[in-house]
Amino acid sequence: MAGALIGGAGLGVPFNELATILKKFGERAMNFDPVLKEIQSKVNTIIPLVAEIEELNEALEYPKEELENLKKTLEVAKKLIPRCVGLWKYNYIRKSDYTKKLRELNSEIGSFRDILLIQTARDGKKTMKLASEIKDVVHRIDSKCEIINTVDLSVAVPGIEGECVGLEKPVERLKTKLFKDGVRLLVVTAHGGCGKTTLAVRFCHDKQVKNKFQKNILFLTVSSKPDPKLILKSIIQSLGRFVVSDSVNDDEAFRHLEQLMGQSSQNPVLFVLDDVWEGPESNKLLEKFSRMPNCKILVTSRNKFPAFGEPYALEPLSHEDARELFRCAASLDNRTPQFPDEQIVEEIVKGCKKFPLALKVIARSLSGRTASIWKSTERNISRGDFILGSEETLLECLKSSLDAVSDDKMILKECFMDLGSFPEDQRIRVATFIDICAVLYEQDECETLSNLDELFTRNLVNTVYLRNEAHEDNYYSESYITQHDMLRQLAVHLTNEQRIDQRTRLFVDISRNEFPEWWSKKEMQPVKARLLSITTDEMFSSCWPDMEAPEVEVLILNPGSKTYELPEFVKRMNRLKALIVRNYRSFPTELTSGYQVMNCLSGLERISLERISIPSFSNHNLKPLLHLKKISFFMCKVDRAFTNCSIQISRVLPNLHEISIDFCNDFVALPIGLCEIVNLEKLSITNCHELSSLPEELGKLINLKTLRLRSCIHLEQLPESISRLHELVDLDISHCVGLTKLPDKIGNLQKLEKLNMWSCPIIRKLPASLRNLKNLRSVVCEEEIAKWLDIVSPRLRNLVTEHKEEVNLDWLLA
Q: List all residues 6 or more positions away from 739 whose beta carbon is below 8 Å from its beta carbon.
A: 715, 716, 717, 718, 733, 760, 762, 763
Q: Determine the average pLDDT of the residues in 247-257.
A: 71
| Segment 564-582, tens digit of pLDDT | 999 999 999 999 999 999 9
Q: Which residue has better confidence, 561 or 53?
A: 561
What is the reported pLDDT for 709? Answer: 96
Q: Which of 340, 486, 338, 508 is nearest to 424 (CA)?
A: 486
- pLDDT tops 70 at residue 529: yes
Q: What residues form DSSP beta bridges with 296?
A: 270
User: Quick one: what percent of the chain has pLDDT higher than 70?
Assistant: 74
CA 186 to chain centre: 9
What is the reported pLDDT for 813? Answer: 43
| Segment 359-413, tens digit of pLDDT | 888 888 888 788 888 888 888 877 655 677 667 778 888 888 888 888 888 999 9
What is the reported pLDDT for 399? Answer: 85
| Segment 328-365, tens digit of pLDDT | 888 765 555 667 788 888 888 888 888 888 888 888 88
d(CA 311, CA 185): 9
| Domain 405-488 top-level CATH class | mainly alpha
CA dihedral 145, 149, 152, 153 (to 10 degrees): 110
d(CA 497, CA 503): 9
CA atoms within 13 A of residue 488's CA, in its CB half-sphere: 20
Q: Which residue has better confidence, 441 or 377?
A: 441
The architecture of the domain spanning 319-394 is Orthogonal Bundle (1.10)
Q: How, if at all, do strands 612-613 and 606-610 pair? A: unpaired
Residue 24: pLDDT band (50, 70, 90) is low
Q: How, if at all, do strands 578-582 and 606-610 pair? A: parallel
Q: Coil, strand or helix: which one is 722?
A: helix
Q: Which CATH superfamily is domain 671-814 in?
A: Ribonuclease Inhibitor (3.80.10.10)
What's the whole-number average pLDDT of the chain? 81
Low-confidence winner among 104-108, 724-728, 766-770 (lowest mean pLDDT): 104-108
What is the reported pLDDT for 812? Answer: 44
Q: Coil, strand or helix: which one is 780?
A: strand
- pLDDT tops 70 at residue 42: no
CB 251 within 8 A of CB 169: no
State the DSSP H helix or E strand holding residue 630, giving kind and residue range, or none if neither: strand 630-634
| Segment 684-703, tens digit of pLDDT | 999 999 999 899 999 999 99
d(CA 432, CA 418): 12
- pLDDT tops 70 at residue 86: no
CB 711 within 8 A of CB 734: yes
Q: Which of 688, 746, 681 is nearest to 719 (CA)?
A: 746
CATH 3.40.190.10, applies to 168-313: no
Q: List all residues 6 or more positions away from 406 whose beta carbon is below 8 Å from its beta carbon.
A: none
Longest CA span, the chain: 153
Q: Determine the average pLDDT of the residues in 67-80.
A: 64
What is the reported pLDDT for 435? Answer: 96
CA 573 to chain centre: 42
Q: List all residues 6 or more positions away from 482 whose beta carbon is below 8 Å from its beta carbon.
A: 426, 427, 428, 461, 462, 463, 464, 814
Residue 76: pLDDT band (50, 70, 90) is low
Domain locations in the chain as residue ranges: 2-137, 168-313, 319-394, 405-488, 671-814
| Segment 151-179, tens digit of pLDDT | 456 778 888 876 678 889 999 999 999 99
